[in-house]
Copies of this chain bind each other. A is one copy, B any other.
Amino acid sequence: MKRNQTVFFKNKPTILAGYSIVGPKESKSVFADYFDYKLKSDFFGEKSFEKAERKILEHAIFGAFDKAGINPNEVQALISGDLLNQIISSSFAARQFDASFIGLFGACSTMAESLALGACLVDGGFFEKLICATSSHFSSAERQFRFPLELGNQRPPTSQWTVTGAGATILSSKGKGPKITCATFGKVMDYGIKDVNNMGAAMAPAAASTLKAHFDETNSKPEDYDLIVTGDLGKLGSEILLDLLEDENIKLGTNYNDCGQMIFDKNEKAFMGGSGAGCSAVILNSYIMKKLLTGEFKKILFVATGALLSTLSSQQGDSIPAIAHAVEIESDKGGEK
């Protein structure tokens, strides 16, 4: 039996809408014009960062419904996860939405994991419409995974900056919009990296493994895509990925980019770039979705990466396992590339 990681969608689930909301720092991104909603304060009127993150996620979910012009009652399930312990942003946001909830944990790979699973559930005829979503918040992540902000700890140069933001994508068995054609579920890879301030290095092998499996199993090559985008290896991780793939005789060209690299400007002191489940979620559901809608991108490969550590696993001396899931999306505008 062929041991596939890639699943193919006969009915190609449609993306009815993608919605993005970002924090104040992200609002200065070069992609700022593409985001649907830009927060002036990362508290979003709430009393804690965690409650703010939850509200950001809720806003993304209901924003997507509005953008698609559909009633939330038409959508049968929410597939969501986030970085906070016990994915409280997702579970608590799900209270606002009277439908089935499927909770995931894939760290920063969540947007791809939810889309891959969601596409299976729609393509298999189990649900007609569902919504995939994820979020992250710099300040809630920082104090959970690293240090309280009040300490003012210095950030090492290999560190990345957790994006404050959320993205949501509505999948449907019919309708107009970009189509999900196939998805590759990643394996957990662990190259022994223990430096929690170097997530890019920990995650690059997972991205390489998933990309190799994807190209092999779909008989495709990097040139077939207008964009291959990882999220969020950052600058260093992306370079490692290119090296690892070269060892496999796979050469990514100028059509490759990384959401972590893309989102922050060089002047924004984000070092290696953005991270967090929200990072790839907001880039996918803004800039990339727009280009798929106009047909400027005919076919893209979205490869969100996640570092599967906890503070406790690091404290116990463990290395950082990582995963990457890939989702192939085609525009419904213009001819096939």
Contacts and interface: CB of A to CB of B under 8 A. Distances in A.
Given A94-B188, A106-B103, A85 B312 contact: yes
A216 interface: no
A120 B128 contact: no
Given A94-B188, A117-B117, A321-B92, A310 B100 contact: no
A5 B100 contact: yes
Nearest to A128: B1
Contacts of A73: 3
Interface in A285-337: 308-313, 316, 318, 321, 323
Contacts of A4: 76, 127
B186 A92 contact: no
B3 A99 contact: yes
Given A3-B99, A76-B5, A113-B103, A84 B312 contact: yes
A39 interface: no
A94 B5 contact: no
A124 B121 CA distance: 8
A105 B87 contact: yes
A218 interface: no
A91 B187 CA distance: 10
Contacts of A121: 7, 120, 124
Interface string A179-191: 0000001111010
User: What is the count of identical protomers in the complex?
Assistant: 2
A98 interface: yes
Interface centre among A76, A101, A127 (most CB of B within 10 A): A101
Contacts of A316: 48, 50-51
A98 B74 CA distance: 38
Nearest to A186: B100
A144 B121 CA distance: 33
Interface of A: 1, 3-5, 7, 48, 50-51, 73-74, 76-77, 81, 83-88, 91-92, 94-95, 98-107, 113, 117, 120-121, 123-129, 144, 185-188, 190, 308-313, 316, 318, 321, 323
5 contacts: A1-B129, A5-B99, A91-B323, A94-B187, A98-B187
Which 7 residue pairs are nearest across A and B when measured between Cβ atoms? A124-B124, A100-B185, A91-B308, A86-B310, A94-B188, A7-B126, A105-B105
